[in-house]
Structure 1
Amino acid sequence: MLAIVLMMTLGVLVAAAVAIYVAYPHRGEAVPVVPQVGNAMRKGVDALPTLEDSESKV
């Protein structure tokens, strides 16, 4: 029972992080209450490799 509650809580936290990222930093806006969270998310995304437009067309 405890494992189920912990996994559901983890799932809700991940979903909330994705929703916050999509709502604010992805659009270039600051998170209203805690802008440090938006800055940390933006730094994390900038560190990940991405495909350029020219690379995605094969």
Structure 2
Amino acid sequence: MARLLTAALEVAGWWVVLAGLWLVLIQTVDTLECAVGAGAALLAAYGGRAARRAAVRR
């Protein structure tokens, strides 16, 4: 259970940082742009977690 919570918190942390970066870099903020940014940030957050885990295992 603790591993699941740790993984969720790590993905959430990545998501917050990446979604914030997305919002800073776009010019106009509307609903569709926020939805696309949130989805892209979630995918990138999973990728960031996977990359960190791969680097730690070596």
Q: TM-score, normalised by structure 2?
A: 0.43
Which fold has the larger relative contact order, with Cα–Cα distance below 8 Å and residues 6 or more apart in sequence? Answer: 2
Structure of higher CA gyration radius: 1
The structure richer in helix per residue is 2
Q: TM-score, normalised by structure 1?
A: 0.43
